[in-house]
């Protein structure tokens, strides 16, 4: 990661006011914004780490923990909620031994909640990476996750 980050930041040397594009590029390269990267960006742009962190936390697009190899997003929007979305989430949290927003210890899975995927007719829905799984039951959700183990 160090070398990739170093090369990336070298390309932005001398640029000011490029905080967001630079943070986007770091996240694209590393997968998230580690503390170390925030420190280096701050140094490069000659501002404090807390300023960079303040900007980054303002935008929902930035993440500060390493993502899992597979991202599981469980919909908890209204249609999914009334059809058991919460039970699907609880089941997956139990199966993976993590809470929503967390990543498994082996970094295999990250788990997130989403408000609506726009696939309400298939509720309850979850998405693994970019693949949508609908009309789930708790056992179907377990089977779905097992495919990625």
Tell which phi-psi region holds residue 32, choosing left (phi > 0), alpha (psi between -120 and 50) or beta. Answer: beta
* Span of 7-15, 48-56, 78-86, 91-99 interacting with ligand FES by CB under 6 A: 78-86
- To ligand FES, the closest distance from the beta carbon of 64 in angstroms equals 26
Number of residues in contact with ligand FES, rule: CB under 6 A? Answer: 11
What is the contact mask toward ligand FES in residues 93 to 122, using x (rule: CB under 6 A)? -----------------------xx-xx--
Rounded CA-CA distance 102/61 in Å is 16
Under the criterion CB under 6 A, does residue 132 sit at the interface with ligand FES?
no
**If you write DSSP's letter for every residue of 91-133 in order, what string do you get?**
HHHHHHT--TT-B-TTSSEEEEEES--S-GGG-S-EEETTEEE
Among 80, 98, 111, 126, binds ligand FES (CB under 6 A): 80
* Span of 44-52, 73-81, 86-94, 105-113 interacting with ligand FES by CB under 6 A: 73-81
Torsion on CA atoms 139, 72, 110, 104, rounded to nearest 10 = 10
- To ligand FES, the closest distance from the beta carbon of 129 in angstroms equals 17
The closest of 92, 72, 73, 89 to 81, measured between CA atoms, is 89
- Give the footprint of ligand FES on this chain (CB under 6 A): 75, 77-80, 116-117, 119-120, 123, 125
């Amino acid at each position: 990661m160090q070398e990739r980050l170093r090369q990336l930041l070298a390309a932005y040397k001398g640029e000011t006011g490029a905080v967001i594009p630079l943070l986007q590029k770091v996240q694209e390269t590393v997968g998230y914004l580690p503390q170390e990267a925030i420190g280096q960006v701050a140094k490069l742009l000659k501002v404090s780490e807390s300023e960079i962190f303040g900007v980054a936390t303002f935008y929902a697009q930035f993440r500060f923990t390493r993502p899992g190899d597979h991202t599981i997003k469980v919909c908890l929007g209204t249609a999914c909620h009334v059809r058991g979305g919460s039970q699907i989430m609880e089941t997956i949290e139990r199966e993976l031994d993590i809470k929503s927003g967390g990543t498994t210890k082996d970094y295999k899975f990250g788990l997130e909640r989403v408000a609506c995927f726009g696939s309400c007719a298939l509720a309850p829905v979850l998405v693994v990476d970019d693949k949508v799984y609908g009309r789930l039951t708790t056992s179907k959700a377990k089977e779905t996750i097992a495919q990625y183990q």
